[in-house]
Structure 1
Amino acid sequence: MSEPGGWQRLDAKVMVIGPIGAFRQFLFPAVIALIGVGTQQPRWALIAAPLIVLGSIVLGVIPWFTTRFRIADDQLVVTTGLVNKLRLTAPLDRIRSVDLEATVLHRLLKLEKVEVGTGVDDTMIELNALSVDQAAALRTRLLSGRTAPTDRHTAGEAPAETIGTARGVNDLVTFTPAWARFAPFSLGRLAIALGFLGATSQFAGEIRIELDGDVLERVLATSLTLIILGALAGGLVLWIVLSMVAYLIQWWDMRLFREDGNLRLTRGLFTTQSTTIEEVRVRGVRLRETALLRTVDGGELHALVTGLEDSVHAVLPQAPTPVVREIATDILGDETPVKVGLEMHGPSARRRAMVRNVLVLSPVIAPVVALVVLLDGPWWPVVAVAVAVVPVGCLLGRMEYAHLGHALTPDHLVAGSGITSRTRTILQRDGVIGWVVAQSFFQRRRGLATVVATTAAGAEQVVIRDIPLPAATAFVRAATPGIVEEFLAA
Structure 2
Amino acid sequence: MLLIDPVRMLPNLLLPLVGVLFVGGFSGSSYVWATVTVVGAVVFALIRWVTFTYEIVGDRMEINRSLISRSLRTIPLERVRGVDVSTPPLHRLLGLAVLKIDTGASGGDEEGKLDGVTLEEAERLKAALLRRVAVARARAGTAETAGSGSGSPVTAGPVATGGAAAAHPAPAQGRPVPPERTIISVPRRWLLYGPLSGAYLFTPFALAGGAIGLAFQWGNELGVGRDAAWQAARWLGDRPYLLLVAVLLLVVAMPFVGGVMYAVFNWDFRLEDRDGYLVAERGLINRRSVSLETRRVRGYEIVDGLAERRAGVVRAWAIVTGLGDSSTRGQLLPVVPRKVAVEVTAGAIGPFLADLRPHPPVARRRRLFRAIAPWLAVCLTALAAAVATGLPLWWVLTVLALAPAGLGVPLGLDRYRSLGHGYDGARLSVRSGSLRRSQAVVERRAVVGWRIRQTWFQRRAGVYTLIAGVGAGEGGYHAVDVSAGQAGDFPAEVTPDWLAPFRTEPGAPRSS
Which TM-score band applies after superposition, normalised by the shorter structure?
Answer: 0.7 to 0.9
The structure 1 residue matched to 2:33, chosen from 34, 40, 48, is: 48
Instruction: Specify the SS of the correspondent of 1:316.
Output: strand
User: Aligned partners of 1:201 and 1:385: how far apart in 2?
Assistant: 35
Q: Which residue of 1 aligns with 2:229?
A: 206
| Conserved 8 A contact 2:203-2:258 | no
| Conserved 8 A contact 1:19-1:61 | no
1:53-132 to 2 correspondence within 5 Å?
53-124=38-109, 125-132=112-119
Question: 2:289 matched to 1:302?
Answer: no
**Superposed displacement of residue 451, structure 1:** 0.5
Q: Which residue of 1 aligns with 2:507?
A: none
Equivalent residues, number:
445
The structure 2 residue matched to 1:351, chosen from 343, 353, 365, is: 365
Q: Which residue of 1 aligns with 2:160?
A: none
| Conserved 8 A contact 1:100-1:114 | yes
Q: Which residue of 1 aligns with 2:133?
A: 146
Deviation digits for residues 50-88 of structure 1 (CA, Å, limit 9, x no counterpart): 102211110111122111111224121111032211111
Deviation digits for residues 338-376 of structure 1 (CA, Å, limit 9, x no counterpart): xx4321113122112212323454553576478569x76
| Structure 1 residue ranges without an equivalent (≥5) | 1-13, 151-160, 210-219
Q: Which residue of 1 aligns with 2:8?
A: 21
User: Aligned partners of 1:378 and 1:236: how far apart in 2?
Assistant: 30
| Structure 2 residue ranges without an equivalent (≥5) | 141-171, 217-227, 233-238, 505-510
Mean CA deviation greater in 438-447 or 478-487: 438-447
Q: Which residue of 2 aligns with 1:473?
A: 488
| Conserved 8 A contact 1:438-1:449 | yes
Matched to 1:310, the amino acid is: D
Q: Which residue of 2 aligns with 1:154?
A: none
| Conserved 8 A contact 1:26-1:52 | no
User: Aligned partners of 1:384 and 1:93: how far apart in 2?
Assistant: 67
Question: 2:189 matched to 1:178?
Answer: yes
Instruction: Specify the SS of the correspondent of 2:200.
Output: helix
User: Aligned partners of 2:376 and 2:307: how far apart in 1?
Assistant: 25
Given the superposition, is the C-alpha separation of residues 181 and 228 from structure 1 closer, same or farther in structure 2, using an over 3 Å criterion?
farther
Identity %: 27
1:206-285 to 2 correspondence within 5 Å?
206=229, 234-285=249-300
**Superposed displacement of residue 261, structure 1:** 0.5
**Superposed displacement of residue 132, structure 1:** 2.0
User: Aligned partners of 2:133 and 2:69: how far apart in 1?
Assistant: 30
**Superposed displacement of residue 184, structure 1:** 2.2
Given the superposition, is the C-alpha separation of residues 61 and 444 from structure 1 closer, same or farther in structure 2, using an over 3 Å criterion?
same
Matched to 2:206, the amino acid is: G
Mean CA deviation greater in 351-360 or 407-416: 351-360
Question: 2:306 matched to 1:320?
Answer: no
| Conserved 8 A contact 1:300-1:317 | yes
What is the TM-score of this pair, normalised by structure 1? 0.82
| Conserved 8 A contact 1:21-1:60 | no
Question: 2:445 matched to 1:430?
Answer: yes
Given the superposition, is the C-alpha separation of residues 229 and 443 from structure 1 closer, same or farther in structure 2, using an over 3 Å criterion?
closer
User: Aligned partners of 1:131 and 1:384: how far apart in 2?
Assistant: 67
User: Aligned partners of 2:322 and 2:341: how far apart in 1?
Assistant: 24
| Conserved 8 A contact 2:63-2:74 | yes
Matched to 1:321, the amino acid is: R
The structure 2 residue matched to 1:333, chosen from 350, 353, 360, is: 350
User: Aligned partners of 2:369 and 2:255: how far apart in 1?
Assistant: 37
Given the superposition, is the C-alpha separation of residues 119 and 405 from structure 1 closer, same or farther in structure 2, using an over 3 Å criterion?
same
Instruction: Specify the SS of the correspondent of 1:239.
Output: helix
Deviation digits for residues 34-62 of structure 1 (CA, Å, limit 9, x no counterpart): 244223x7233211121022111101111
User: Aligned partners of 1:438 and 1:238: how far apart in 2?
Assistant: 44
| Conserved 8 A contact 1:70-1:76 | yes
